[in-house]
Structure 1
Amino acid sequence: MRCRKRLEIAEKNIERIMDEAEQIDKEEDSAGSLVRLNEEIQDQKKMQAKVREIVKTLKETGKENKKTPAKPFGKEEFSYDKKRDVYICPEGKILKNKGIAFGSEEKISYKAGGKECRECKHFGICTTSRNGRWVVRMVEQEELKERLEEIYHEEESQKLYKLRKEKAELPFGHMKRNLGAGQFLLRGKEGVNAELSILSTCFNMARMITIIGVPVLLAKFNSM
């Protein structure tokens, strides 16, 4: 109980110093300061929604593991033509819509001609089926994935994602790398909240040292 009260007092004092540091930061026009992060994000709800959408994009689409070689002639090598509702293979051959796949309306199968595949120089690698290469499209999921990929590659989205890397990831990177907090030591919501509060306090103090310097920070603590 005593520790909790001391922690609450410390947090209030740090909040006050952070407010003063923010004022100094504004006067010095420090564009890279994180002290203004909360105010900036609160004033830009649209940016918040966009960043969350981009994060979701990365989870949906994923990034190919560079250590794992890409599967030759995987489905990602085939392009989908929405207007014609066909897939086009790397050699330019057409895979036509053959209807529902595996008895599910959410899955549509597309197939190339057997003769075209057998005469292709990649036969045996792309497919070993003499009937031709098959591709299955997950209708709802892939339409969402394609839309999210379009959003992610937009110029505005790339700017916002870069901003996310610069600001939102910095506190967590500092805690994990500089403070060595790769995982929580405590269990349970209350314990994790307490541990995160301590880590956040350490991060805020490091930021205050960067912004106002050690002598000014010590002077403010001594005046409490």
Structure 2
Amino acid sequence: MIVHACLRDGLGGSPTLVLPDGDFSEAERRALPGAHGCSHVVFLGSEGALRFFTSAGELPGCGHGTVAALAVLAADGTDEFILRAGGRAFRGTARSTSAGVEAYFDPGPIQVRDATSAERATVVRALGADGPCVIATLGRPRVLVEVPDVAALSPDLDLLRAATDEFGLLGCYAYSAGKRYAARMFAPSIGVPEDVANANSTACLAAHLAADVTVDMGDSLGRPATITATVAGPGVMVGGLAVTA
């Protein structure tokens, strides 16, 4: 089924394919997102096991995919879950409302460091905008770049892919501060030129700022999305609203 994850005011969200896991080949798993108009597919296994795929292959984690999976798992009325993905077990919650399912999860430990001068120069050149950069690692490292206006960005995706590949980065999460945050996530190396909603990178932003954040994404793609990340003790809980199509 298709789940729209991290909607904003009941609209948009990231369309995500959610399927029971089964005897799929690698090629079949990679073909499914494109065939269904989605960037990602989530396979639900036994005992809360999750597997995430894009057209480029398997990912150790996917934030909006986890939100989508929780929305499906909550259909039987359960609201607390132990999920498994990327070699770890973690907590997820889901609460049914009149607007859909509010789903949140623990994305895991996050490490943040300053970007090196080489990382910053290469990524900024590809992004076409300058700003403070950090590297946040959640499963895989990604660069967070603060820019004046994410709506004005027009990155060179070929250069960005080369830059992120050079430094082993998942992608580039550009964000702007305002009444609330706005962000865009570019990840051409994993087959996602721009992500509608990226919950894991939003969790990284909350960890970097050491503050709760609400972030709007997806406007440039015509799919408004909103993600909320809350600092909870030493960790973060992140998620949003999901609706099954």
TM range, smaller chain: under 0.3
**TM-score under structure 2 length normalisation:** 0.21
More helix by share: 1
More strand by share: 2
- Which structure has more RCO (C-alpha within 8 Å, separation ≥ 6)? 2
